[in-house]
Chain A
Amino acid sequence: MATIGVNELVRLDGVALGYEGLVALRDVNLRIEPGELIGIVGPSGSGKTTLLRALLGQTEIYAGDALVADNTRVGYVPQVETVDWNFPITVEQVVLLGRWRTRRWLPWVTRSDHDRAHEVMEQLGIAEFAHRPIRALSGGQQQRSFLGRALVGSPDLLLLDEPTSGVDIKTRHEILHQLVELNAASVTVVLTTHDLNGVASHLPRLIALGEETVLADGPPSKVLQPDVLERAYGQPMLVVRSGHETYVLPVPEEAPGAHEGDAVPLGEVEVIAAPDHDDA
């Protein structure tokens, strides 16, 4: 019988998983160590959310071994699209839901639950909205509220499904910054993202999904490769590096034969508008 290693939080060995008898991912081999920050990338329907749910124990396992270390507290932030916005609930009440595990059969919340919730809301910068209905907040504030619900239970493993979808660039940056800070405070973070340039390329480890399996696993320099991306997305992609930044672009129609190291005719770059740095 397979066992999980001392320095492992999650271990999937040759796992086939899915729902209702339908296999979504097969031959998945994965190790997650405490303190990692991982992004799962791939096109829609490639199994990103399914893999995240497998870590939550919410999928069926048809083959292999899926193990999560004992006593691992897991926090989960779903896609905001799945939330019922008609439900009358305030930010504070949403965050307090995350304390469910602390006193399971006590019907009410305690003073310590309140204190912990306010501590987390302060940390995430949403304390001032505590008594506002969640549907009245902006996308970024809503996302932070759900992050608060996940954090209030002091998780060891934080799973986030598309945490930056539908938010503006500034909010995306703030959310990523918060996740990096949490990770620095030894929370293991696994997130899914569609955003290869704004999110994935900045993470230390990526897992690329496609063809019903894991196509690549490692740092962005290894995973964001044209061959991996073409297999995942089914179309040729350009990977452009500028200093430490990596950008993934669809191959322009006029340059279908572009190869690694080619000077690609992307056209002239024109600065349409720039910030005014005139401090005078």
Chain B
Amino acid sequence: MLEPFEFGFMQRAMVAAALVGGVTAAVGVFVILRRLAYIGHGLAHSIFGGAVVSFTLGINFFLGASIWGAFSVFLINQAARRRQIGGDAAIGIITTAAFAIGIAVISRARSFTRDFEAALFGEILGITSQDLWMTAGMVLLISVVLFLFWKQLVFITFDQDVATSYGIPVRWVEAIFSLVLAATVVAALQVLGVTLIAAALVIPPVVARMLTDSFPRMFLIAVALGAVTGFIGVYVSWFVDVSSGATVVLVQAAVFALTLLWGAIESRRGRSATRRAERLAGLERALND
């Protein structure tokens, strides 16, 4: 059972997955409550384009992908402000175009295929100590920004209209959040890959939402769930010999399914209890009459 802990690459992978799982869940809480699940998916594809261009130009992956992600977010915000386009269409156009640039570069330079596959599907087991420190640095930076803008983000997410009237600089806070989202996707790219990031952003917060009606509690549950499922997913992948990124998402999906099942059983129990109480009350009335 302790075999995976004997290898340095597995230790690094489990720590990276826990860090990335926790931070994607933290950002994901705001993503799902703002109904932006689609932007997470889109940005992951967009940043893939950035990763490809970084490889081609020989730029640091984190730097190149972050700049590409930030630029995509800027373009999305600019396009979404035009009434005729709208947010959904802007995300669809810009992120797909950025992804297509990545594909075009791949098709011109086939020697990079392995690296691109890693970006698409994640290559957590190949994480070096330097990668881990970079990931930890990004996670720390994202956490600090979330902490500093906590009140503003909560207010804007719950009631943007009133937040504006209270003098919260909504556009600035939204821009900062978009950059945080882009940074999160970049940090998660090597662990989960483009294709699985959206699930890690969405599943832990959705499960947490199903378990509580309090925002701070939802946040804490989501972060804990993201970190624990990340860790367990990589650990389990050692034994089942399946891609680590996919295993992390499958573990999260299993937790979601169990929560859904538990909710259905609880709701059924609640209905039965209500029916029993109603029957008893009816019996009592009949006896009194």
Contact = CB atoms under 8 A, between A and B. Distances in A.
Contacts of B215: 87-89, 93
A118 to B, nearest CB: 17
Contacts, number: 71
Given A56-B165, A58-B164, A89-B215, A78 B150 contact: no
Contacts of A108: 150
A163 B199 CA distance: 40
Contact of B158 (A20, A87, A106, A136): A87
B167 A107 contact: no
Contacts of B212: 88
Q: 3 closest pairs, A vs B, by CB? A: A133-B213, A76-B165, A107-B150
Contacts of B163: 100
Interface string A131-143: 0010110000000
A21 to B, nearest CB: 11
A86 B215 CA distance: 11
Given A88-B212, A88-B214, A74 B154 contact: no
Nearest to A101: B166
B-side interface mostly: helix
B169 to A, nearest CB: 10
20 contacts: A56-B165, A58-B164, A76-B162, A76-B166, A78-B159, A82-B161, A83-B159, A84-B157, A84-B159, A87-B33, A88-B217, A89-B215, A90-B213, A97-B151, A97-B158, A100-B166, A106-B151, A107-B147, A107-B149, A136-B213
Q: Is the interface of A mostly helix, strand, loop or mixed?
A: loop
A105 B162 contact: no
B155 interface: yes
A66 to B, nearest CB: 15
B209 interface: yes
Interface string B182-221: 0000000000000000000000000001001111111000
B166 A88 contact: no
B148 A107 contact: yes
Contacts of B159: 78, 82-84, 97
Contacts of A89: 158, 214-215
Nearest to B159: A83
Given A94-B158, A107-B148, 17 more contacts: A56-B164, A58-B165, A76-B166, A78-B162, A82-B159, A82-B161, A86-B33, A87-B157, A88-B217, A89-B215, A90-B214, A93-B215, A97-B151, A100-B163, A107-B150, A135-B213, A136-B213
